A = this chain, B = another copy of it.
Amino acid sequence: MTNRAAEYIESHRKEFLVELFELLRIPSVSSDPAARPHMERCAAVLRDRLADAGLRAEILPTGGQPVVWGERKIGAGPTVLVYGHYDVQPPDPLEKWNHGPFDPVITDGNVVARGASDDKGQAFALVCGIEAALKSGGGPAVNIKVLLEGEEEVGSPSLAPFIRKERERLRADCVVIADTSQFDRDVPAITYGLKGLVYMELVVQGPSKDLHSGSYGGAVMNPANALTRMIAACQGPFGRVAIPGFYDRVRPLEDWERREFAALPFREDGFLAEVGSPSLWGEEGYTTLERKWARPTFDVNGLVSGHTGPGSKTVLPSKAGAKFSMRIVPDQEPQEIARLAEEYLRRIAPPGVSIEFITHHHAAPVIVRRDIPAMRAAEAAVERGFGRKPVFIREGGSIPVVGTFKQELGADTILLGLGLPDDNAHSPNEKFCVQDFYRGMDTMAAFLEELGDRTL
């Protein structure tokens, strides 16, 4: 980047950190209906930050949580759309946090708070990078648009309709998102592939009320028994998913991908220590990185039935529920996978129970080509911001909006990973490295310059 942008960031470090803390103090939990006032306050603060950065900023209503919008038009030149989200996951289990989840602290060089990495910290680093690029000189030859949504953690129900409705406002040549991770500490990465997501809930209803398991057991189907059988039947041998047709559209890993993944500085023992499981496990015939990034999965996210408190209760529960999600890969299609799962589960449901499904959300899997101009600009920008070349990786998480941007705007997305794999996203004690917060600003400022240079 220009020395001036770097100097601007250097001289504003403290202010940027104070502003991040202000954002992290707002409990913008989108899945909690009671948090609506916090969502609105968070959006208002971000609007002010975008205005400070030199953008024309406003809050745009949607059917759900508001969108924060910022724009800088120069006319000619490429247009980059920066996307992030200001909503966060619920903080539970609260008792496992060392500090209040919305009471940010700096510990061992990290900001610790819900949303520190996912995604307030990363998204705000991009905003600060834009501010540095715009305020430290004439500014890059790039049109800039910023869209910060408030529903990412609940599946972005309002975003796709918003993007379709505001297609002209949003039109861009490429999209930049910082909501992924570096490969490891000091191994910056650009993510070119994402898994998709099909998140469902199965509710099994047996008797119309809870029954005494002694007086009635054996004579009626227990819905919790039925649920375990149905969920178990989705899991095949060798770590495979047993839903018929599930693998039909799975694109095999390319040889070059398997080679590059294998060359990454990945240590299974370090990964095992990080997750704390007794041993690693996964689909036979694939490495851990391949399983994480490029093979589809079936995971139970929640189970509840009957007596869940301490001690015993001899109850035959009237119903049982499982939340489960399938992470899918190119070229699996969310609607089709949801249909296959539902058809299969309905077919194998035992007698004596009725079942229903709740569909929570869908996201399409994504792969971006590595030879497009925006990707080249990003590669150069990361090298300038982090002081080393990025590796190219995939990611098991889902960012549904990436597929929507491709479909609605025709724009490919550059996923700049500023976080680290052990940031505890969605877990207690979520964190974000302060140094990476600043490197992210440098990278963003450099990206705008590189993109302007490359395409003018």
Chain A stretch 26-62: residues in CB contact (< 8 A) with chain B: 31
Interface 0/1 of A71-96, CB less than 8 Å to B: 00000000000000000011001001
Q: Is the CB of B303 within 8 A of A308?
A: yes
Q: Is the CB of B276 within 8 A of A396?
A: no
- Interface core residue of A228, A317, A397 (most chain B CB under 10 Å): A228
Interface-lining segment among A7-15, A105-113, A212-220: A212-220
With beta carbons under 8 angstroms apart, the residue of B90, B217, B298 that contacts A313 is: B90
With beta carbons under 8 angstroms apart, the residue of B212, B299, B350, B424 that contacts A397 is: B212
Q: Which residues of B contact A350 (CB under 8 A)?
A: 281
Question: How far apart are A325's CB and chain B's nearest CB, in angstroms?
Answer: 6
With beta carbons under 8 angstroms apart, the residue of B89, B212, B222, B239 that contacts A425 is: B212
With beta carbons under 8 angstroms apart, the residue of B96, B282, B306, B354 that contacts A301 is: B306
Q: Is the CB of A302 within 8 A of B305?
A: yes
A309, B323: Cα distance in complex, Å: 10
Interface 0/1 of A208-252, CB less than 8 Å to B: 111111111111111011011101110100010000000000000
A295 CB–B CB distance under 8 Å: yes
Interface 0/1 of A250-294, CB less than 8 Å to B: 000000000000000000000100011111111100001001100
Number of copies of this chain that the complex holds: 2
Q: Which residues of B contact A279 (CB under 8 A)?
A: 351-352
Q: Which residues of B contact A291 (CB under 8 A)?
A: 218-219
Q: Is the CB of B210 within 8 A of A426?
A: yes
With beta carbons under 8 angstroms apart, the residue of B197, B219, B233, B318 that contacts A214 is: B197
Question: How far apart are A205's CB and chain B's nearest CB, in angstroms?
Answer: 8
With beta carbons under 8 angstroms apart, the residue of B209, B214, B322, B325 that contacts A398 is: B214
What are 15 A-B interface contacts by the 8 Å CB criterion? Answer: A197-B214, A197-B314, A207-B275, A215-B395, A216-B396, A217-B292, A218-B283, A220-B275, A224-B301, A227-B228, A228-B300, A228-B303, A232-B232, A277-B352, A302-B317
Residues on A close to B: CB < 8 A? 31, 89-90, 93, 96, 154-155, 181, 195, 197, 199, 201, 206-222, 224-225, 227-229, 231-233, 235, 239, 271, 275-283, 288, 291-292, 295-309, 311-318, 320, 322-323, 325, 327, 350-354, 360-361, 395-398, 421, 424-428
Apart from A218-B297, A219-B396, A278-B353, list 7 A-B contacts with CB within 8 A: A31-B311, A31-B312, A210-B427, A213-B299, A214-B395, A224-B300, A300-B317
